[in-house]
Homo-oligomer: A and B are copies of this chain.
Amino acid sequence: MPDRFVVGVDLGGTKILALVVDKQFAVVGRAKKSTKAQEGVAHVHDRIVAAVIEACRGAGLDPKALAGVGVGSPGPLDPATGVIIDSPNLGWHNYPLREKLQQALGVPVAVDNDANLGTLSEQRLGAARGKQHVVGIFAGTGIGGGLVLNGQLFYGASGAAGEIGHIVMNPDGPLCGCGNRGCLEAIASRSAIAGEAAVAAVRGHAPHLLAACGGDVTKVRSGDLAEAIQAGDQAIETIVRRAARYIGIAIGSLVNLLSPDCVVLGGGMVEAMEDIFLAEAREALKHHAMPYLAQRVEIMPARLGDDAVALGAALLIAEKR
């Protein structure tokens, strides 16, 4: 742990969250800004810097006195250099985020994949505390993943290991955003669910969902899905349960492959519909993991919510020292 304070930043497609944490990882300052990615990379950079400064001010700190700033960003990115290779959500290509922020802030900066950092914080501070081998799965617009193996984030040869959303569930399945077919993300993300829900809505089977999302199912939020299911849209429940079951099948493969002691399930959809996601995933696991490996693993809901990525980003700096 550092002697000095650390800032962790969650750089998302829609919002930037900056947290100041102390030695015990208590949050002593926070700031939130909208990303406004459409205004271009220079503007987003300035908004990250502004969020860091504002969070420090809230904690009564001079940003120059920070031990460093960690940033969680959508990938793929190179954690060794802090270059964002390609981020469809931000519209960035080969952007040297770490270098630029280091120049602007005058303190050490580290950058890593957002889902990696969510997994790291859940393993260090959250649902999987004390577990050695942890798989993190975060289901929202896409499906992000991270691997903590032997107590450390696992990066692989490219630095970008952990793409759990791109495990192949069906070689001839639906087209995925990555260009391939049948990835978990193409079957079980909120985007995939929105596509199925739109068809149900056209058939008149999702009246409550239409009401909840204001008529445009392509913009459905996780809370809208939860609301529609509560209100009685059975087609939506069927669609969501299938997605959750596929996540459970993927967990089966992950258990057979990696024998983790904990799988942490998080993300917007899981937060909004935790019961459904946990129950379906645990049931599917029974049918797709080998018993000898399945008996060593728990599926746990994530605990750190919206702070998970920023806390993981702070850990990145704290543990480098």
Interface residues, chain A, CB within 8 Å of chain B? 76, 85-86, 132-133, 145, 147, 149-150, 154-164, 166-171, 178-181, 183, 246, 249-250, 252-254, 256-261, 284, 287-293, 295-297
CA distance A292 to B149 in the complex (A): 22
Assess the A292–B257 pair: CB atoms within 8 A. no
Taking CB atoms, residues of chain B closer than 8 Å to A258 are 147, 154, 156, 161
CA distance A257 to B164 in the complex (A): 6
Taking CB atoms, residues of chain B closer than 8 Å to A166 are 253, 256-257, 290
Per a CB cutoff under 8 Å, which of B157, B164, B169 touches A296?
Answer: B157
Assuming the contacts A85-B292, A149-B149, asked whether A157 and B260 have C-beta atoms less than 8 A apart, the reply is yes
Distance (Å) between the CB of A112 and the closest chain B CB?
A: 14
Distance (Å) between the CB of A83 and the closest chain B CB?
A: 12
Taking CB atoms, residues of chain B closer than 8 Å to A260 are 156-157
Assess the A163–B86 pair: CB atoms within 8 A. no
CA distance A181 to B179 in the complex (A): 27
Taking CB atoms, residues of chain B closer than 8 Å to A86 are 292
Taking CB atoms, residues of chain B closer than 8 Å to A297 are 157
Assuming the contacts A164-B257, A253-B253, asked whether A132 and B149 have C-beta atoms less than 8 A apart, the reply is no
Assuming the contacts A171-B169, A292-B86, asked whether A156 and B259 have C-beta atoms less than 8 A apart, the reply is yes
Taking CB atoms, residues of chain B closer than 8 Å to A256 are 163-164, 166-167, 183
Assess the A257–B160 pair: CB atoms within 8 A. no
Distance (Å) between the CB of A210 and the closest chain B CB?
A: 30
CA distance A254 to B180 in the complex (A): 14
Distance (Å) between the CB of A270 and the closest chain B CB?
A: 20
CA distance A133 to B167 in the complex (A): 18
CA distance A290 to B180 in the complex (A): 8
Distance (Å) between the CB of A61 and the closest chain B CB?
A: 36
Distance (Å) between the CB of A285 and the closest chain B CB?
A: 10
